[in-house]
Amino acid sequence: MNIVLRELRANLKSIIIWSLCMIFLIYVGMVKYSGFAAAGEGVNELMAQMPEVLKNMLGMNEMDLTSVSGFYAIFYLYFMLIAGVHAVMLGAVIISKEERDKTADFLFVKPILRSRAVTAKLAAAFINIVVLNLVTLVSSIIFVGMFNEGEPINDQIVRLMLALFILQIIFLTLGASIAAIARNTKKAASVATTVLLTAFILSIAIDLNDKIDYLTFLTPFKYFNAGKVMREGSYEPVYLLLSAAIAAACTAVTYVVYKRRDLHV
């Protein structure tokens, strides 16, 4: 418990900043939506003339920007990217920072197993991603409600946040496993972020070229389609199982490798 509290205090400023950024993004986005809604179908006609590459990069493909659900679905792309970066960096830093900051000797000379320390660190990281997810959920419900003049979409928002939470867990555990494996702990976060951005770019490439859609399983950004989740309220079982398998495998790697790691202090 002491390690959990220590990590929560250490990441308090960070989670506040990430949360404020997310709140600001949602508010600004909904202000923009009010302008799009007022413009009517002219907006969709204008967007239809945009290059396909640009529409895919912005998540605007096959979305009705004049409906609050369509516009919010576009936001999911940015939520995934922001929450993913936060999770993967958090996972990498929280595991590697003892070596990076030369404090491993302080932590591990105490009568505590490495596995217990890893568990406490992951628990603290888990609490952080839960906080960011809840901030995104509550802010979305509040600001969407402020600008939505039609039927409430709170249930659809909740479904998207559940999908986002699964994505956060994947990248959190991925970042932790990379930090456990990496020899250069100072670069662990950079490597983890590079892996995430590579997965994001791959997801865009798949949208642009359906001939490589067989690579979908390689990028978590393609596991949950925002439009489908909002319309049907369901998740594809194969991607739920794949998400669980990735998270479990990465967590196992973190424990096994970190336990055997020669810590440099």
- pTM of the full structure: 0.88
Mean pLDDT of the chain: 83
Q: For the segment 66-107, what is each residue's pLDDT rounded down to a tens digit?
A: 778 878 888 888 899 999 999 999 999 988 876 655 554 445
Q: For the segment 204-250, what is each residue's pLDDT rounded down to a tens digit?
A: 888 777 788 888 999 999 999 887 888 777 899 999 999 999 999 99
In a domain, 107, yes or no: yes
Crossing angle of helices 188-208 and 154-181, rounded to 10°: 130
In a domain, 47, yes or no: yes
In a domain, 265, yes or no: no
Radius of gyration of the chain (CA): 20
- Contact of 136 with 83, CB cutoff 8 Å: yes
Give the burial class of 78: count Cβ atoms within 10 A of its Cβ; 0-12 exposed, 13-18 middle, 19 or more buried.
middle
DSSP letters along 34-61, please?
Answer: HHHHHHTHHHHHHHHTS-HHHHHHHT-T
Maximum distance among all alpha carbons in the chain?
67
Crossing angle of helices 41-48 and 12-39, rounded to 10°: 100
In a domain, 78, yes or no: yes
Domain containing residue 181: 2-260
> How many domains does one find in the chain?
1
